[in-house]
Amino acid sequence: MTSSLTRRRFLAISAGTAGAAAVGGAAPLWMRDAAALGHAPPKGVVTTVPTFCEMCFWRCGGIAHLRDGKLWKFEGNPLDPQSMGRLCPRGTAAVGAHYDPDRLRQPLMRVGDRGGEQWKAVSWNEALDHVAERMNSIKAEHGPESVALFNHGFGQRFVQHVLRSWGVINYAAPSYAQCRGPRDVGFTLTFGAGVGSPEPTDIKHTDCLVLIGSHLGENMHNSQVQEFAQAVERRIPVIVVDPRFSVAASKAKYWLPVRPGTDLALLLAWCGLLVREGRYDRAFVQQHGHGFDKFAAEVQDYTPEWASKECDVPPELIVAAAREFASRRPACIVHPGRRVNWYGDDTQRSRAIALLNALLGNYGRRGGLYVSQGIKMERYPLPPYPKSDKPRADGGDADRYPFADEGITTSIRDATISGKPYPIKGWFVYSTNLMEALPNPAETVEAMQKLDLLVVCDTVPSDIAGWADVILPDTTFLERYDELLTGYGRNGWAALRQPVVAPPHDQKPAWWIAKQLAVRLGIGECMPFDDIEEYLRARVEKSGHFWDQFKKEGVIVAPHQPTTVEEGLQLQFDTPSGKVEFWSDQLAAAGFDPVPKYTAPEPPPEGHLRLITGRAPGHTFTRTQSNPLLHDLMPENEVWVHPATAAKLGVKNHEYVRIKNQDGIVSNRIRARVTQRIREDCVYTVYGFGAKNKMLKSAVGRGASAGALNTRYKTDPLMGATSIHGNFVTLVKEA
């Protein structure tokens, strides 16, 4: 396949929503011709620097182009496996993050009440002295465990390292309990390994792809979307299960518009059908399965007719889809999804997805789920972290949720509110916008009122920064070094993040902030190097690579190791039985269902609709709202509503409405998008809009915040993930 073809498909896949979402109907900025993007033939001296993208968490390698020393454009790095030489619209718009006029420019300290958004500009010395002094007084009174870290994204590495070196034991990212946690736990319980990122789905070679929600094409994880576009071009059957006619659904052979929250019924019925009709991989099950007979006995009673009633899709469609994907095994994937925290029982749904894949025998198979390989890069010798005799308060040590294997943001929040198991008095927030990312912002506010110290390190005045005592302005990823990226995939690879341009104001790179803080906390020895380049260079050279070449190429790709049985891989399963656990003794012992059981979701109360959320191709959550290029592409979100529902409510297409939830929370005004592309019993909007911080001038008040409407959430009893799709809403017309 030629790259031009692929590129066309790539654009076509994402165009579906991007075009529709762009207000005003004009082609979105990133799709206009090269000249409009500023890609006119260069004048002046052009230089290039490779680095990797942080516009989302896919970490694509790109090449920044400078014209006369000024940042001009950012393109894919052909050597990089995550970008395969192309960036998605958000990556291309990274230039806008550097030039964003709303950026934080210097450290700020709060004057007046917390959350009052009154600030004075201070020097770095003053800001960091204050943070260190407050941290030390919390340590003196309560111990270092009473300072917690919330972090997300790649830049957090040294911030976390310094805080843990100082004694912090509670730390969490929303990418676990608010995102992929249930999926990774569901897969670990079944196969002994989580899914990880990038997802090892061999879409490139698959003969059939089943998507449960996963809205590829709106979810723009770059290389995955490129492979999906190629798969569509190859005309493989795509099966999409989604209450909404997503971009992926528009490319599908079968679309199953299930009633929201009923996926587990469908998945169990599919398992039942495969078992009854003998359409599963007997050899795989015999060789690698544990407890298959008990599993089979349990699932064989789930029929398409039963699932049809729960899911509100015809039984014939359920059967046809199952026979279609089963006929392609093992080169068939039921995609594990990524943001799976939908209803609070998500680990068991993810486990059902894992079990369905196991029945297809696609684990470690070409066209199925391959087994990722990594790269070995030597470590830099750093002192070990001190030990604490206190338990973790972040729920990450499985006390509170037996199968949690990472820290849980909301457990830290709960501990801050309750003071149990001990008081939490300081929050250090690095690169996560907790006001939007966590459920029920009122609880976040309640917790923050109990703090003696709230530090936020961000690039822009996010909503959480509005609550800070001290705001530390980070550089954007284009202006700094970070830790070395060691990635997993078909090949292991390492990538370098390095400064492309100088920060425009008094912003400082995260590693520098961490080191300065370490010195003030009296633990400077935990970062035993003057400059991070020294650290990175040592790691690279010790690993047998050339630093200068790495700086020039940006990527080191490890030699290929087998990732599938076809390539000679020996399968291993790190479960208690050493096998694929169709029946989970672990779950049974902990008092949970060893095979997932279905509970019907609560129906919306009379006159209410379920609120579901997802992604727009041209934004990443709140982090791109003030990026001028992406703001231009999509300045606000819309609420999707079915014509029949809209007619009942008297709502017209494109009209402004407000979303009101069951607890009386009313959103900013938001345009209605009246469309057949969604079921009648739910509405849909993209998450990340509706910023509240006044300093975010371009984006404040634009669109509705889905985070603010998520006041009613359930917590997954297995591992602590919090649900997002549990709210019922009405649309209120503007007076």
**Residues in touch with ligand MGD (CB under 6 A):** 54, 56-57, 152-153, 155, 174-175, 178-179, 212-215, 219-221, 241-244, 246, 258, 260-261, 263, 337-339, 342, 430-433, 436-437, 457-460, 462, 474, 476-477, 612-617, 619-623, 684, 687-688, 706-707, 710, 724-725
Please say whether the beta carbons of 275 and 300 come within 8 A: yes
Q: Is 679 in the site for ligand SF4 (CB under 6 A)?
A: no
Can you list the positions of beta strands (E) in 352-506? Answer: 426-430, 453-458, 470-473, 485-487, 493-495
Alpha carbon distance 680, 649 (integer Å): 12
Residue 353, C-beta contacts closer than 8 angstroms, at least 6 positions apart? 183, 186, 212, 267, 334, 335, 336, 337
Q: How far is the CB of 470 from ligand SF4 (least distance, A)?
A: 29
Report the alpha-carbon distance of residue 646 to residue 641 in Å, rounded.
6
**Closest C-alpha among 465, 432, 520 to residue 107:** 465
Tell me which residue of 373, 332, 377 sits closest to 562, measured CA to CA: 373
In the complex with ligand MGD, which residue's Cβ is closer, 258 or 500?
258
String of contacts with Mo ion for each residue 312-341, x by CB under 5 A:
---------------------------x--
> C-beta of 133: minimal distance to ligand MGD in Å?
22
Complex with ligand MGD: residue 199 or 553, whichever CB lies closer: 199
Q: Which does 615 bind (CB under 5 to 8 A by kind): Mo ion, ligand MGD, ligand SF4, none?
A: ligand MGD
Q: Which stretch binds ligand SF4 (CB under 6 A): 49-57, 120-128, 485-493, 640-648?
A: 49-57
Shorter beta-carbon distance to ligand MGD: residue 16 or 423: 16
Nearer to ligand SF4, 198 or 367 (CB): 198
Q: Give 485 or 709: the residue with its C-beta nearer to ligand SF4.
A: 485
For 487-523, give the DSSP string.
Answer: E-BSS-EEE----SS--SSS-B-HHHHHHHHHHHTT-
Here the tokens at position 130 are 């204050």
Is there binding between residue 55 and Mo ion (CB under 5 A)? no
Q: Which stretch binds ligand SF4 (CB under 6 A): 210-218, 219-227, 346-354, 600-608?
A: 219-227
**End-to-end CA distance of the chain, in Å?**
55
Provide the minimum distance between the beta carbon of 318 and ligand MGD in the complex, in angstroms, as a whole number.
13
Q: Is 71 or 87 the residue whose CB approaches ligand SF4 more closely?
A: 87
CB of 486 to ligand MGD, least distance (A): 19
- Establish if 220 lies at the interface with ligand SF4 (CB under 6 A): yes
Enter the tokens of residue 558.
């490890």
> Which single residue brings its beta carbon nearest to Mo ion?
179
Distance CA 119, CA 99 (A): 23
Sign of CA dihedral 20, 23, 26, 29: negative
Separation of alpha carbons 720 and 544, rounded Å: 42
Strands (E) located in 298-369: 332-334
Half-sphere exposure of 523 (CA within 13 A, CB side): 23
Please give the full DSSP string across 542-603, using - where no structure is assigned. HTT--HHHHHHH-EEEPPP---SGGGTPPP---STTSSEESS-HHHHHTTS-SS----PPPP
Residue 58 engages ligand SF4 in binding (rule: CB under 6 A): yes
Q: Which listed residue (53, 179, 232, 354) binds Mo ion by CB under 5 A?
A: 179
Tell me how far, at minimum, the Cβ of 63 lies from ligand MGD, in Å. Answer: 19
Name which of residues 88 to 147 contact ligand SF4 (CB under 6 A).
88, 90-91
Residues in the site for ligand SF4, rule: CB under 6 A?
53, 55-56, 58-60, 87-88, 90-91, 220-222
Residues in the site for Mo ion, rule: CB under 5 A?
179, 339
